[in-house]
C-alpha cells in the first residue's frame, strides 16, 4: 500500500488593482454580466467572462428554470457560447464572479462539479489549459493556473476509447 498526496497551489490577490490590466478587465466583465443572469429562485447571479486565444471575449450567466435540473450554470453557458461562436478556439483565461441577493458577495466561489467536468473536457479537446480567476464583487481573487487542477481524477474521454 502507498499513500499519494494531491496538492496544488494558487495565487491570492486582494483586489483587482493587483491584477494585470487584461485580467482586471476580464474580471470586471464577469462581475458586470451578473445582471444578465436569470436567477429568480436562488437569487444567486453568476457571471463568467473568457478571453479566447484569438483575443475575443465571450460571456455567460446562470439561467435557472422552475424545473431545477433544467437550469445551466454560467460557466457551461460560456463554454457552449464559445464553442458555438468560435469552434476549436481555446480559452486563455476564464473569470467567474457572482452577486448574491441573500448575502455578501465578498469572497471567491468555485465552479460546481459539473462545470469542473465541462472545463476539463474543454481543455482536453482544445489542447490548451484554461487559467481561472475566481472572485466575488469584492474581496480576494484566486488565480488558478489550470482548471483541471480543480478536478483530480477526472473522468475523461480517454476512458471511452
Q: Take residue 38 and report the three cell numbers written for it.
A: 436569470
Can you tell me the distance from the alpha carbon of 10 to that of 118, in angstroms, rounded to the nearest whole number? 20
* pLDDT above 70 coverage of the chain, percent: 100
Half-sphere exposure of 129 (CA within 13 A, CB side): 9
Q: What is the pLDDT of residue 134?
A: 98
Q: What is the CA radius of gyration of the chain?
A: 16
Which pTM was predicted?
0.95
Average pLDDT, the chain: 96
Residues facing 12 on adjacent strands: 142
pLDDT one-digit tens code per residue, 82-139 = 999 999 999 999 999 999 999 999 999 999 999 999 999 999 999 999 999 999 999 9
Q: Take residue 143 and report the three cell numbers written for it.
A: 488565480
45-61 mean pLDDT? 98
Active-site residues, by number, are 75
Q: What is the pLDDT of residue 161?
A: 84
To the nearest 10°, the Cα dihedral for 63, 69, 159, 91?
A: 10
Please give the distance of CA 142 from its chain centroid, rounded to a whole number.
11
Residues facing 60 on adjacent strands: 48
Domains of the chain: 11-15+28-152 (3.40.140.10)
Amino acid at each position: 500500500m502507498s499513500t499519494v498526496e494531491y496538492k496544488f497551489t494558487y495565487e491570492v490577490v486582494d483586489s483587482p488593482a493587483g491584477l494585470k490590466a487584461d485580467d482586471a478587465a476580464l474580471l470586471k466583465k464577469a462581475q458586470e454580466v451578473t445582471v444578465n443572469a436569470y436567477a429568480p429562485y436562488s437569487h444567486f447571479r453568476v457571471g463568467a467572462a473568457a478571453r479566447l486565444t484569438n483575443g475575443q471575449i465571450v460571456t455567460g450567466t446562470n439561467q435557472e428554470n422552475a424545473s431545477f435540473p433544467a437550469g445551466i450554470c454560467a460557466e457551461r453557458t460560456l463554454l457552449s457560447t464559445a464553442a458555438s461562436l468560435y469552434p476549436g478556439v481555446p480559452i486563455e483565461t476564464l473569470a467567474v464572479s457572482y452577486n448574491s441577493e441573500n448575502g455578501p458577495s465578498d469572497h471567491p466561489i468555485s465552479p460546481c462539479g459539473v462545470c469542473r467536468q465541462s472545463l476539463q473536457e474543454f481543455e482536453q479537446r482544445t489542447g490548451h489549459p484554461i487559467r481561472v480567476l475566481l472572485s466575488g464583487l469584492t474581496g480576494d481573487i484566486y488565480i488558478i493556473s489550470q482548471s483541471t487542477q480543480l478536478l483530480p481524477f477526472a473522468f475523461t474521454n480517454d476512458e471511452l476509447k
